[in-house]
Amino acid sequence: MVKVTPVPAAETRATVTSDAVLDAALTLFARFGYHGTALSQIAEMLGVRTPSLYNHMRSKQELLRSIVDRTTSGVLADFQTATDGLTDPVERLRSASLVYALRHATHRREAIVVNRDTASLDEPHRTELQDRRREHEHALRQIISDGVEAGVFQVDTPALASFAIREMCVSIARWFREDGPLPPDQVAEQYSRFALRIAGCTRDSAT
Amino acid sequence: MVKVTPVPAAETRATVTSDAVLDAALTLFARFGYHGTALSQIAEMLGVRTPSLYNHMRSKQELLRSIVDRTTSGVLADFQTATDGLTDPVERLRSASLVYALRHATHRREAIVVNRDTASLDEPHRTELQDRRREHEHALRQIISDGVEAGVFQVDTPALASFAIREMCVSIARWFREDGPLPPDQVAEQYSRFALRIAGCTRDSAT
DNA sequence: TTGCGATACGAATGAGCGTTAGCTAGCCTC
DNA sequence: GAGGCTAGCTAACGCTCATTCGTATCGCAA
Protein backbone atom coordinates (compact mmCIF):
# COMPACT_ATOMS: atom_id res chain seq x y z
CA MET A 1 0.00 0.00 0.00
CA VAL A 2 0.94 3.59 -0.30
CA LYS A 3 2.56 4.98 2.79
CA VAL A 4 3.27 8.54 1.82
CA THR A 5 1.51 10.88 4.18
CA PRO A 6 2.82 14.35 3.41
CA VAL A 7 1.42 15.89 6.59
CA PRO A 8 1.19 19.67 6.73
CA ALA A 9 3.69 21.49 8.90
CA ALA A 10 2.55 21.60 12.50
CA GLU A 11 1.87 25.34 12.59
CA THR A 12 -0.60 25.15 9.72
CA ARG A 13 -3.04 22.92 11.55
CA ALA A 14 -6.07 24.68 12.85
CA THR A 15 -8.11 23.67 15.85
CA VAL A 16 -11.76 24.26 16.15
CA THR A 17 -14.65 24.05 18.62
CA SER A 18 -18.32 23.19 18.30
CA ASP A 19 -19.22 26.80 18.86
CA ALA A 20 -16.90 27.94 16.11
CA VAL A 21 -18.53 25.52 13.68
CA LEU A 22 -21.96 26.74 14.67
CA ASP A 23 -20.92 30.33 14.28
CA ALA A 24 -19.42 29.81 10.83
CA ALA A 25 -22.52 27.90 9.77
CA LEU A 26 -24.66 30.76 11.02
CA THR A 27 -22.74 33.29 8.95
CA LEU A 28 -22.83 31.23 5.78
CA PHE A 29 -26.43 30.02 6.12
CA ALA A 30 -27.44 33.66 6.57
CA ARG A 31 -25.60 34.67 3.44
CA PHE A 32 -26.29 31.78 1.06
CA GLY A 33 -29.14 29.89 2.67
CA TYR A 34 -29.05 26.34 4.02
CA HIS A 35 -29.16 24.59 0.66
CA GLY A 36 -26.89 27.22 -0.84
CA THR A 37 -24.13 26.54 1.68
CA ALA A 38 -21.74 23.61 1.36
CA LEU A 39 -20.00 22.07 4.33
CA SER A 40 -16.76 22.68 2.45
CA GLN A 41 -17.39 26.42 2.76
CA ILE A 42 -17.84 26.13 6.50
CA ALA A 43 -14.64 24.08 6.72
CA GLU A 44 -12.75 26.57 4.61
CA MET A 45 -13.89 29.44 6.79
CA LEU A 46 -12.43 27.61 9.78
CA GLY A 47 -9.19 26.64 8.00
CA VAL A 48 -9.97 22.95 8.18
CA ARG A 49 -10.89 20.12 5.77
CA THR A 50 -14.51 19.13 5.42
CA PRO A 51 -14.46 15.74 7.21
CA SER A 52 -12.94 17.35 10.30
CA LEU A 53 -16.23 19.09 10.92
CA TYR A 54 -17.70 15.75 11.92
CA ASN A 55 -15.62 15.82 15.09
CA HIS A 56 -17.81 18.72 16.23
CA MET A 57 -21.26 18.00 14.83
CA ARG A 58 -23.46 15.12 13.78
CA SER A 59 -24.76 16.43 10.47
CA LYS A 60 -25.56 19.54 8.48
CA GLN A 61 -29.19 19.22 9.53
CA GLU A 62 -28.16 19.25 13.15
CA LEU A 63 -26.37 22.55 12.63
CA LEU A 64 -29.55 24.10 11.29
CA ARG A 65 -31.59 22.59 14.08
CA SER A 66 -29.26 23.95 16.75
CA ILE A 67 -29.39 27.43 15.28
CA VAL A 68 -33.15 27.41 15.03
CA ASP A 69 -33.72 25.88 18.47
CA ARG A 70 -31.44 28.29 20.24
CA THR A 71 -32.99 31.28 18.49
CA THR A 72 -36.65 30.49 19.00
CA SER A 73 -36.02 29.73 22.65
CA GLY A 74 -34.38 33.10 23.00
CA VAL A 75 -37.32 34.87 21.41
CA LEU A 76 -39.80 33.31 23.79
CA ALA A 77 -37.59 33.98 26.78
CA ASP A 78 -37.20 37.61 25.73
CA PHE A 79 -40.94 37.94 25.47
CA GLN A 80 -41.53 36.51 28.92
CA THR A 81 -39.03 38.67 30.73
CA ALA A 82 -40.17 41.74 28.80
CA THR A 83 -43.85 41.38 29.66
CA ASP A 84 -43.61 39.78 33.09
CA GLY A 85 -45.18 41.99 35.68
CA LEU A 86 -46.75 44.36 33.17
CA THR A 87 -50.53 44.45 32.97
CA ASP A 88 -51.22 47.54 30.88
CA PRO A 89 -51.59 46.45 27.24
CA VAL A 90 -49.83 49.58 26.05
CA GLU A 91 -46.78 48.88 28.19
CA ARG A 92 -46.84 45.20 27.34
CA LEU A 93 -46.89 45.92 23.61
CA ARG A 94 -44.24 48.59 23.93
CA SER A 95 -41.93 46.29 25.83
CA ALA A 96 -42.59 43.17 23.75
CA SER A 97 -42.02 44.94 20.44
CA LEU A 98 -38.94 46.69 21.81
CA VAL A 99 -37.12 43.49 22.72
CA TYR A 100 -38.30 41.79 19.55
CA ALA A 101 -37.00 44.62 17.39
CA LEU A 102 -33.78 44.84 19.38
CA ARG A 103 -33.12 41.14 18.97
CA HIS A 104 -33.45 41.42 15.20
CA ALA A 105 -30.95 44.26 15.09
CA THR A 106 -28.45 42.46 17.30
CA HIS A 107 -28.95 38.86 16.09
CA ARG A 108 -29.29 39.45 12.39
CA ARG A 109 -27.86 36.19 11.13
CA GLU A 110 -30.04 34.06 13.38
CA ALA A 111 -33.15 35.94 12.32
CA ILE A 112 -32.39 35.58 8.63
CA VAL A 113 -31.74 31.86 8.88
CA VAL A 114 -34.79 31.12 10.99
CA ASN A 115 -37.07 33.10 8.73
CA ARG A 116 -35.67 31.87 5.46
CA ASP A 117 -34.62 28.28 6.06
CA THR A 118 -37.31 26.97 8.35
CA ALA A 119 -38.66 25.03 5.39
CA SER A 120 -35.38 23.13 5.11
CA LEU A 121 -35.78 21.57 8.55
CA ASP A 122 -36.66 17.90 8.54
CA GLU A 123 -39.76 16.76 10.31
CA PRO A 124 -40.68 16.60 13.08
CA HIS A 125 -38.57 19.61 13.96
CA ARG A 126 -40.15 21.87 11.38
CA THR A 127 -43.56 21.43 12.95
CA GLU A 128 -42.13 21.94 16.43
CA LEU A 129 -40.54 25.18 15.36
CA GLN A 130 -43.72 26.44 13.75
CA ASP A 131 -45.61 25.69 16.92
CA ARG A 132 -43.19 27.75 18.95
CA ARG A 133 -43.41 30.64 16.53
CA ARG A 134 -47.17 30.47 16.67
CA GLU A 135 -46.92 30.67 20.44
CA HIS A 136 -45.15 33.99 20.17
CA GLU A 137 -47.57 35.20 17.52
CA HIS A 138 -50.61 34.39 19.63
CA ALA A 139 -49.12 36.00 22.71
CA LEU A 140 -48.58 39.22 20.80
CA ARG A 141 -52.03 39.03 19.27
CA GLN A 142 -53.52 38.58 22.75
CA ILE A 143 -51.92 41.79 23.91
CA ILE A 144 -53.54 43.62 21.02
CA SER A 145 -56.94 42.03 21.60
CA ASP A 146 -56.71 42.96 25.29
CA GLY A 147 -55.89 46.52 24.35
CA VAL A 148 -58.77 46.74 21.92
CA GLU A 149 -61.12 45.43 24.57
CA ALA A 150 -59.74 47.93 27.06
CA GLY A 151 -60.27 50.72 24.54
CA VAL A 152 -56.61 51.73 24.31
CA PHE A 153 -56.00 50.17 20.88
CA GLN A 154 -57.99 50.52 17.70
CA VAL A 155 -57.69 47.89 14.99
CA ASP A 156 -60.26 46.08 12.87
CA THR A 157 -58.45 42.76 12.95
CA PRO A 158 -55.95 42.11 15.75
CA ALA A 159 -54.38 39.25 13.82
CA LEU A 160 -53.42 41.61 10.99
CA ALA A 161 -51.86 44.11 13.35
CA SER A 162 -49.96 41.32 15.06
CA PHE A 163 -48.57 40.01 11.77
CA ALA A 164 -47.66 43.50 10.65
CA ILE A 165 -45.79 44.30 13.85
CA ARG A 166 -43.92 41.02 14.00
CA GLU A 167 -42.79 41.01 10.40
CA MET A 168 -41.86 44.66 10.48
CA CYS A 169 -39.49 43.86 13.34
CA VAL A 170 -38.17 40.71 11.71
CA SER A 171 -37.24 42.67 8.63
CA ILE A 172 -34.81 44.81 10.60
CA ALA A 173 -32.41 41.89 10.25
CA ARG A 174 -32.52 42.33 6.50
CA TRP A 175 -31.48 45.97 6.25
CA PHE A 176 -29.70 46.82 9.49
CA ARG A 177 -25.96 47.48 9.27
CA GLU A 178 -23.77 47.63 12.32
CA ASP A 179 -21.80 50.48 10.83
CA GLY A 180 -24.94 52.41 9.95
CA PRO A 181 -26.05 55.76 11.37
CA LEU A 182 -28.31 54.40 14.12
CA PRO A 183 -27.38 52.02 16.96
CA PRO A 184 -29.62 49.01 17.60
CA ASP A 185 -31.36 50.44 20.63
CA GLN A 186 -32.46 53.58 18.81
CA VAL A 187 -33.78 51.56 15.91
CA ALA A 188 -35.65 49.33 18.34
CA GLU A 189 -37.12 52.32 20.09
CA GLN A 190 -38.47 53.82 16.89
CA TYR A 191 -39.86 50.47 15.79
CA SER A 192 -41.52 50.03 19.13
CA ARG A 193 -43.25 53.33 18.50
CA PHE A 194 -44.30 52.13 15.06
CA ALA A 195 -45.82 49.09 16.73
CA LEU A 196 -47.95 51.22 19.03
CA ARG A 197 -49.06 53.28 16.06
CA ILE A 198 -50.06 50.20 14.09
CA ALA A 199 -52.12 49.09 17.05
CA GLY A 200 -53.87 52.45 16.93
CA CYS A 201 -52.75 53.34 20.41
CA THR A 202 -54.82 56.28 21.60
CA ARG A 203 -52.53 57.15 24.49
CA ASP A 204 -49.06 58.42 24.82
CA SER A 205 -48.31 58.29 21.13
CA ALA A 206 -45.68 61.01 21.26
CA THR A 207 -43.42 59.28 23.76
CA MET B 1 -27.07 -1.38 -31.16
CA VAL B 2 -30.00 -1.51 -28.86
CA LYS B 3 -33.23 -0.68 -30.60
CA VAL B 4 -35.80 -1.21 -27.92
CA THR B 5 -37.67 2.00 -27.32
CA PRO B 6 -40.57 1.13 -25.06
CA VAL B 7 -42.43 4.39 -25.74
CA PRO B 8 -45.25 5.25 -23.41
CA ALA B 9 -48.76 4.92 -24.75
CA ALA B 10 -49.82 8.02 -26.61
CA GLU B 11 -52.36 9.20 -24.05
CA THR B 12 -49.78 9.25 -21.23
CA ARG B 13 -47.60 11.86 -22.90
CA ALA B 14 -47.95 15.29 -21.50
CA THR B 15 -47.43 18.51 -23.36
CA VAL B 16 -46.17 21.64 -21.77
CA THR B 17 -45.61 25.34 -22.45
CA SER B 18 -42.99 27.83 -21.31
CA ASP B 19 -45.55 29.49 -19.09
CA ALA B 20 -46.41 26.19 -17.46
CA VAL B 21 -42.75 25.58 -16.66
CA LEU B 22 -42.42 29.07 -15.23
CA ASP B 23 -45.53 28.60 -13.16
CA ALA B 24 -44.42 25.26 -11.74
CA ALA B 25 -41.00 26.69 -10.98
CA LEU B 26 -42.67 29.58 -9.22
CA THR B 27 -44.69 27.26 -7.02
CA LEU B 28 -41.74 25.07 -6.10
CA PHE B 29 -39.20 27.85 -5.64
CA ALA B 30 -41.67 29.53 -3.31
CA ARG B 31 -42.07 26.36 -1.30
CA PHE B 32 -38.52 24.95 -1.20
CA GLY B 33 -36.34 27.81 -2.34
CA TYR B 34 -34.22 28.00 -5.46
CA HIS B 35 -31.42 25.73 -4.25
CA GLY B 36 -33.93 23.49 -2.51
CA THR B 37 -35.83 22.78 -5.70
CA ALA B 38 -34.60 20.23 -8.26
CA LEU B 39 -35.52 20.45 -11.90
CA SER B 40 -36.78 16.90 -11.54
CA GLN B 41 -39.47 18.21 -9.18
CA ILE B 42 -40.59 20.78 -11.71
CA ALA B 43 -40.67 18.10 -14.39
CA GLU B 44 -42.62 15.75 -12.18
CA MET B 45 -45.16 18.44 -11.40
CA LEU B 46 -45.73 18.81 -15.14
CA GLY B 47 -45.84 15.06 -15.82
CA VAL B 48 -42.70 15.16 -17.91
CA ARG B 49 -39.09 13.94 -17.72
CA THR B 50 -36.43 16.38 -16.63
CA PRO B 51 -34.61 16.91 -19.95
CA SER B 52 -37.86 17.84 -21.67
CA LEU B 53 -37.84 21.05 -19.70
CA TYR B 54 -34.98 22.26 -21.87
CA ASN B 55 -37.39 22.59 -24.78
CA HIS B 56 -38.99 25.46 -22.88
CA MET B 57 -36.16 27.17 -21.02
CA ARG B 58 -32.43 27.74 -21.23
CA SER B 59 -31.40 26.94 -17.69
CA LYS B 60 -32.55 26.87 -14.09
CA GLN B 61 -30.97 30.27 -13.56
CA GLU B 62 -33.02 31.69 -16.39
CA LEU B 63 -36.19 30.53 -14.69
CA LEU B 64 -35.27 32.44 -11.58
CA ARG B 65 -34.26 35.47 -13.59
CA SER B 66 -37.55 35.52 -15.48
CA ILE B 67 -39.55 35.32 -12.29
CA VAL B 68 -37.57 38.07 -10.63
CA ASP B 69 -37.55 40.34 -13.68
CA ARG B 70 -41.22 40.07 -14.28
CA THR B 71 -42.06 40.70 -10.65
CA THR B 72 -39.86 43.72 -10.01
CA SER B 73 -41.09 45.33 -13.22
CA GLY B 74 -44.62 44.82 -12.01
CA VAL B 75 -43.89 46.43 -8.67
CA LEU B 76 -42.45 49.55 -10.25
CA ALA B 77 -45.28 49.79 -12.77
CA ASP B 78 -47.82 49.44 -9.95
CA PHE B 79 -46.15 52.23 -8.07
CA GLN B 80 -46.16 54.56 -11.06
CA THR B 81 -49.81 54.09 -11.94
CA ALA B 82 -50.79 54.30 -8.29
CA THR B 83 -49.07 57.61 -7.61
CA ASP B 84 -49.37 59.28 -11.01
CA GLY B 85 -51.36 62.44 -10.76
CA LEU B 86 -51.39 62.49 -6.96
CA THR B 87 -49.52 65.31 -5.24
CA ASP B 88 -50.71 65.06 -1.64
CA PRO B 89 -48.18 62.93 0.29
CA VAL B 90 -50.98 61.35 2.31
CA GLU B 91 -52.82 60.22 -0.79
CA ARG B 92 -49.61 59.12 -2.47
CA LEU B 93 -48.61 56.99 0.51
CA ARG B 94 -52.09 55.60 0.89
CA SER B 95 -52.22 54.60 -2.75
CA ALA B 96 -48.66 53.31 -3.02
CA SER B 97 -48.95 51.14 0.07
CA LEU B 98 -52.35 49.89 -1.01
CA VAL B 99 -51.15 48.51 -4.34
CA TYR B 100 -47.97 47.20 -2.76
CA ALA B 101 -49.91 45.34 -0.09
CA LEU B 102 -52.45 44.10 -2.61
CA ARG B 103 -49.76 42.73 -4.86
CA HIS B 104 -48.28 40.74 -2.01
CA ALA B 105 -51.64 39.20 -1.18
CA THR B 106 -52.37 38.31 -4.80
CA HIS B 107 -48.88 37.35 -5.99
CA ARG B 108 -47.64 35.47 -2.99
CA ARG B 109 -45.29 33.04 -4.70
CA GLU B 110 -43.52 35.75 -6.65
CA ALA B 111 -43.00 37.83 -3.54
CA ILE B 112 -41.58 34.92 -1.56
CA VAL B 113 -39.13 33.96 -4.28
CA VAL B 114 -37.95 37.49 -4.95
CA ASN B 115 -37.43 38.19 -1.28
CA ARG B 116 -35.78 34.93 -0.40
CA ASP B 117 -33.81 33.86 -3.45
CA THR B 118 -32.42 37.13 -4.72
CA ALA B 119 -29.05 36.05 -3.38
CA SER B 120 -29.09 33.01 -5.68
CA LEU B 121 -29.13 35.16 -8.80
CA ASP B 122 -25.88 35.22 -10.72
CA GLU B 123 -24.21 38.51 -11.37
CA PRO B 124 -24.78 40.89 -12.99
CA HIS B 125 -28.48 40.30 -12.56
CA ARG B 126 -28.38 40.32 -8.79
CA THR B 127 -27.02 43.86 -8.75
CA GLU B 128 -29.56 44.94 -11.35
CA LEU B 129 -32.37 43.61 -9.25
CA GLN B 130 -31.11 45.28 -6.10
CA ASP B 131 -30.92 48.58 -7.98
CA ARG B 132 -34.53 48.28 -9.03
CA ARG B 133 -35.65 47.45 -5.53
CA ARG B 134 -33.73 50.40 -4.22
CA GLU B 135 -35.55 52.55 -6.74
CA HIS B 136 -38.87 51.58 -5.22
CA GLU B 137 -37.53 52.00 -1.72
CA HIS B 138 -36.29 55.50 -2.40
CA ALA B 139 -39.51 56.51 -4.10
CA LEU B 140 -41.45 55.45 -1.03
CA ARG B 141 -39.00 57.15 1.27
CA GLN B 142 -39.34 60.35 -0.75
CA ILE B 143 -43.10 60.37 -0.20
CA ILE B 144 -42.53 60.16 3.53
CA SER B 145 -39.87 62.86 3.54
CA ASP B 146 -42.20 65.11 1.53
CA GLY B 147 -44.97 64.47 4.02
CA VAL B 148 -42.73 65.25 6.97
CA GLU B 149 -41.66 68.47 5.33
CA ALA B 150 -45.27 69.36 4.63
CA GLY B 151 -46.12 68.66 8.26
CA VAL B 152 -48.61 65.86 7.56
CA PHE B 153 -46.30 63.02 8.66
CA GLN B 154 -44.29 62.65 11.85
CA VAL B 155 -41.31 60.34 11.95
CA ASP B 156 -37.80 60.72 13.31
CA THR B 157 -36.15 58.82 10.48
CA PRO B 158 -38.02 58.52 7.16
CA ALA B 159 -35.79 55.64 6.08
CA LEU B 160 -36.92 53.55 9.04
CA ALA B 161 -40.58 54.21 8.35
CA SER B 162 -40.04 53.35 4.70
CA PHE B 163 -38.37 50.04 5.56
CA ALA B 164 -41.05 49.22 8.08
CA ILE B 165 -43.90 49.88 5.66
CA ARG B 166 -42.34 47.99 2.79
CA GLU B 167 -41.42 44.91 4.76
CA MET B 168 -44.72 44.85 6.57
CA CYS B 169 -46.44 44.66 3.19
CA VAL B 170 -43.99 42.11 1.81
CA SER B 171 -44.70 39.85 4.71
CA ILE B 172 -48.34 39.52 3.72
CA ALA B 173 -47.13 36.97 1.21
CA ARG B 174 -45.88 34.82 4.06
CA TRP B 175 -49.09 34.47 6.03
CA PHE B 176 -51.93 35.22 3.65
CA ARG B 177 -54.18 32.30 2.70
CA GLU B 178 -56.61 32.49 -0.15
CA ASP B 179 -59.18 30.54 1.80
CA GLY B 180 -58.77 32.76 4.85
CA PRO B 181 -61.39 35.03 6.39
CA LEU B 182 -60.35 38.23 4.62
CA PRO B 183 -60.14 38.87 0.86
CA PRO B 184 -56.97 40.48 -0.53
CA ASP B 185 -58.47 43.92 -0.99
CA GLN B 186 -59.61 44.17 2.61
CA VAL B 187 -56.22 43.08 3.88
CA ALA B 188 -54.59 45.65 1.61
CA GLU B 189 -56.89 48.36 2.86
CA GLN B 190 -56.07 47.68 6.50
CA TYR B 191 -52.36 47.52 5.75
CA SER B 192 -52.58 50.78 3.88
CA ARG B 193 -54.02 52.27 7.05
CA PHE B 194 -51.17 50.76 9.06
CA ALA B 195 -48.76 52.46 6.66
CA LEU B 196 -50.30 55.87 7.30
CA ARG B 197 -50.13 55.24 11.02
CA ILE B 198 -46.46 54.28 10.86
CA ALA B 199 -45.81 57.51 9.01
CA GLY B 200 -47.51 59.34 11.87
CA CYS B 201 -50.16 60.76 9.61
CA THR B 202 -51.90 63.57 11.47
CA ARG B 203 -54.85 63.74 9.12
CA ASP B 204 -57.69 61.49 8.30
CA SER B 205 -56.37 58.62 10.37
CA ALA B 206 -59.82 57.11 10.93
CA THR B 207 -60.62 56.67 7.27
C1' DT C 1 8.64 8.31 28.71
C1' DT C 2 4.68 6.18 27.59
C1' DG C 3 0.01 5.80 26.41
C1' DC C 4 -4.50 7.56 25.39
C1' DG C 5 -8.13 10.50 23.90
C1' DA C 6 -9.24 14.14 20.91
C1' DT C 7 -8.96 15.79 16.52
C1' DA C 8 -7.09 16.59 12.01
C1' DC C 9 -6.27 14.32 7.55
C1' DG C 10 -6.63 11.81 2.70
C1' DA C 11 -9.26 8.77 0.18
C1' DA C 12 -13.33 6.98 -1.15
C1' DT C 13 -18.42 6.24 -1.70
C1' DG C 14 -22.92 6.80 -3.30
C1' DA C 15 -26.42 9.82 -4.31
C1' DG C 16 -28.27 13.69 -6.66
C1' DC C 17 -27.74 17.54 -9.41
C1' DG C 18 -27.91 20.42 -13.98
C1' DT C 19 -27.06 19.77 -18.51
C1' DT C 20 -26.12 17.68 -23.28
C1' DA C 21 -26.69 14.48 -27.11
C1' DG C 22 -29.07 11.68 -30.03
C1' DC C 23 -33.15 9.48 -31.15
C1' DT C 24 -38.29 9.08 -32.04
C1' DA C 25 -43.31 9.83 -32.01
C1' DG C 26 -47.01 12.89 -33.20
C1' DC C 27 -48.96 16.93 -35.69
C1' DC C 28 -49.36 20.39 -39.38
C1' DT C 29 -48.71 21.66 -43.95
C1' DC C 30 -48.35 20.62 -48.55
C1' DG D 1 -49.17 10.30 -48.30
C1' DA D 2 -44.61 12.76 -47.55
C1' DG D 3 -41.70 15.65 -45.00
C1' DG D 4 -40.37 18.55 -41.47
C1' DC D 5 -40.94 20.83 -37.01
C1' DT D 6 -42.06 20.40 -32.24
C1' DA D 7 -41.46 18.28 -28.11
C1' DG D 8 -41.15 14.17 -25.86
C1' DC D 9 -37.89 10.30 -24.44
C1' DT D 10 -33.48 7.44 -22.72
C1' DA D 11 -28.77 7.45 -21.75
C1' DA D 12 -24.94 9.43 -20.19
C1' DC D 13 -21.59 12.91 -18.45
C1' DG D 14 -19.20 15.57 -15.16
C1' DC D 15 -19.61 17.72 -11.09
C1' DT D 16 -20.60 18.58 -6.26
C1' DC D 17 -22.27 17.24 -2.13
C1' DA D 18 -22.79 14.97 2.59
C1' DT D 19 -21.00 11.40 4.86
C1' DT D 20 -17.83 7.34 6.34
C1' DC D 21 -13.43 4.97 7.24
C1' DG D 22 -8.93 4.17 8.56
C1' DT D 23 -4.85 6.48 9.80
C1' DA D 24 -1.65 9.88 11.69
C1' DT D 25 -0.59 13.41 14.90
C1' DC D 26 -0.83 16.36 18.92
C1' DG D 27 -1.25 17.50 23.85
C1' DC D 28 -1.88 15.92 28.33
C1' DA D 29 -1.78 12.78 32.28
C1' DA D 30 0.38 9.05 34.55
Q: Is the pLDDT of residue A7 over 50?
A: no
The pLDDT value recorded for residue B1 is: 29
Q: In the structure, what pLDDT confidence band is assigned to residue A202 with cuts at 50, 70 and 90?
A: confident
Mean pLDDT of chain A: 90
Provide the whole-model pTM: 0.87
Which B residues 151-170 touch A at CB under 8 Å? Answer: 155-157, 160-161, 163-164, 166-168, 170
A49-65 pLDDT, tens digit per residue, is 999 999 999 999 999 99
pLDDT of residue A16: 82
Q: For position B17, what pLDDT does the model report?
A: 87
The percent helix, strand, coil of chain B (3-state, each to 5) is 70, 0, 30
Query: A204: pLDDT confidence band, cut at 50, 70 and 90?
Result: low
Contact B36 A31 (CB under 8 A): no
Check pLDDT > 70 for residue A207: no
Average confidence (pLDDT) over B113-118 = 94
Q: Please give the pLDDT value at position A1.
A: 26
pLDDT at B8 over 70: no
What is the mean pLDDT of the segment spanning A145-152?
94
Stretch A91-120: mean pLDDT, rounded?
96
DSSP secondary structure, B141-182, as one string = HHHHHHHHHHTS---S-HHHHHHHHHHHHHTHHHH--TTSSS
Confidence band (pLDDT; 50, 70, 90) for A151? very high
Dist. CA B91–CA B96, nearest whole Å = 8
- Three-state helix/strand/coil letters over chain A: CCCCCCCCCHHHCCCCCHHHHHHHHHHHHHHHCCCCCCHHHHHHHHCCCHHHHHHCCCCHHHHHHHHHHHHHHHHHHHHHHHHCCCCCHHHHHHHHHHHHHHHHHHCHHHHHHHHHHHHHCCCCHHHHHHHHHHHHHHHHHHHHHHHHHHCCCCCCCHHHHHHHHHHHHHCHHHHCCCCCCCCHHHHHHHHHHHHHHHCCCCCCCCC
Given this structure, which CATH class describes domain B61-198? Answer: mainly alpha
Nearest CB to B164 within list A32, A35, A168:
A168
Structural domain spans, chain A: 9-57, 61-198
Q: How far is the CA of B14 from the C1' of D2 (A)?
A: 26
Out of 1.10.10.60, 3.30.70.100, 3.40.50.1820, 2.60.40.3710, select the CATH number for domain B9-57: 1.10.10.60
Q: Which helix (H) or strand (E) segment is B74 a member of? A: helix B60-83
Does the CB of B20 have a partner CB in chain A at under 8 Å?
Answer: no
pLDDT tens by residue, B39-98: 999 999 999 999 999 999 999 999 999 999 999 999 999 999 999 999 999 999 999 999
Residue A17, pLDDT score:
87
Inter-chain residue contact B119 with A31, CB threshold 8 Å: yes
Confidence at residue A20, expressed as pLDDT on a 0 to 100 scale: 92
Nucleotide nearest to B1 (CA to C1'): C23
pLDDT, tens digit, 9 for 90 and up, residues A9-35: 334 556 788 899 999 999 999 999 999
pLDDT at B202: 80
